[in-house]
Amino acid sequence: MRIRNIAILGAAVFAGAVCGSLIGPHPAEAVAREIIDLQRDVTSLLQGQKDLSTQMTQDHTVIKTIVGGFNDNISHLSGSMGSLQKSVQDMQANSGTRLDTMSTQVQGLSDNLEEIKSRLGKLNQQLVDLQNTVQGLDAKISSGASAPATGGPTTTPTAGALPPAGSSAAMPPPSADTLYSNAYRDLQTGKYELARSEFQDYLKYYGSTDLAANAQFYIGEIAYKQKNYQQAIAEYDKLINNYPKNFRLAQGLLHRGMSFVELGQKSSGIRDLREVVRRFPGSEEERYARGKLKELGVSVSATR
């Protein structure tokens, strides 16, 4: 549009000059000179128009090239960002899986360590008992004690004779190590009823040992795995009340809360889940409790 206006203006000036020269009293030579000057000016204007058009075309080409380069860079950057985002998501997923695997492995190692400690303790106790027995035998042999004399004839029981009728000859319970190992093996192989009975026997005979809390926890776990949530809550209550400092407490409290939720007792379940978050920060149980609270649509912390 600008170039067109310049051309029109130049033509108008040229026409005016021609008309003025025809009308005015100027001599022919002066008129011819003015016409030549006007032609030169018009030629210059047309050349300027051409140069301006060429420059605008070149500028447009350069700008188009730059914009095309920007678009290519943006496309490449978008692709890189997409790949980076996918890599981050894959890393997060793999990290979560590895954490779960590591947690399971650590839990298994902890169980094995507790069992080894229990076995060492039982072996030590057996050695002490054996030593006491040997010392007692030595004392009897050295004292030369003889059977007390009686007025009537004495009868010596024959080998393999059965006890008299009506007498109680209860079989002694298995050792603590044997009983616990059998119960744990049956639990791992899915023999839940047998494992529950063995863990209950362990608590009956060895309720004051280090592994008693483990036995109580596993009884609750068996009920939880069988979806007998009411029984699981009762067993976890015993764990929490009788063994408040045991390392199984976080799992017991978490699963008691989950059992409450399964039974529809949402407020009690939320209370236990929040307690796990409060008392065991940074643990696997705390992470799971946070996820469950979010799933239930409630906040992690609230006024009690």
Q: What confidence category does residue 66 fall into, taking pLDDT thresholds of 50, 70 and 90?
A: confident
Lowest mean pLDDT among 7-21, 77-91, 104-118, 224-238: 7-21
The amino acid at 209: T
Q: What confidence category does residue 55 fall into, taking pLDDT thresholds of 50, 70 and 90?
A: confident
Q: What confidence category does residue 29 fall into, taking pLDDT thresholds of 50, 70 and 90?
A: confident
pLDDT at 164: 46
Question: Is 179 within 8 Å of 202 (Cβ atoms)?
Answer: yes
pLDDT at 304: 45
What residues have CB less than 8 Å from 201, skipping those under 6 apart? 173, 179, 183
The amino acid at 48: G
Q: What is the pLDDT of residues 176-231, one digit of tens each?
A: 999 999 999 999 999 999 999 999 999 999 999 999 999 999 999 999 999 999 99
Considering only residues 97 and 251, tell me which one the structure prediction assigns the higher pLDDT. 251
Torsion of CA 85, 287, 283, 239, to 10 degrees: -160
Provide the 10 A C-beta neighbour count for residue 194.
Answer: 15
Tokens for 201, please give them: 């026997």
Question: Is 216 within 8 Å of 203 (Cβ atoms)?
Answer: yes
Question: Is 223 within 8 Å of 235 (Cβ atoms)?
Answer: yes
Tokens for 54, please give them: 């060429």
Residue boundaries of the structural domains of the chain: 2-90, 174-304
The answer, yes or no, to whether residue 277 has pLDDT greater than 70, is yes
Of 122, 250, 243, the closest CA to residue 177 belongs to: 122
Instruction: Give the separation between CA 268 and CA 256, rounded to whole angstroms.
Output: 9
Considering only residues 8 and 35, tell me which one the structure prediction assigns the higher pLDDT. 35
Instruction: Give the separation between CA 265 and CA 228, rounded to whole angstroms.
Output: 15
Distance of CA 27 to the CA centre of its chain: 104
Would you say domain 174-304 falls under CATH 3.40.50.300?
Answer: no
For residue 227, give the 3-state DSSP assignment: coil
Instruction: Give the separation between CA 167 and CA 169, rounded to whole angstroms.
Output: 6
Considering only residues 131 and 148, tell me which one the structure prediction assigns the higher pLDDT. 131
DSSP 59-83: HHHHHHHHHHHHHHHHHHHHHHHHH
The answer, yes or no, to whether residue 291 has pLDDT greater than 70, is yes
What residues have CB less than 8 Å from 220, skipping those under 6 apart? 232, 235, 236, 238, 239, 252, 255, 256
For residue 31, give the 3-state DSSP assignment: helix
Instruction: Give the separation between CA 20 and CA 34, rounded to whole angstroms.
Output: 10
Q: What is the pLDDT of residues 141-186, one digit of tens each?
A: 655 544 444 444 444 444 334 444 444 445 778 899 999 999 999 9
Tokens for 217, please give them: 């926890």
Of 227, 211, 290, 225, the closest CA to residue 254 belongs to: 290
pLDDT at 204: 95
Instruction: Give the separation between CA 5 and CA 17, rounded to whole angstroms.
Output: 18
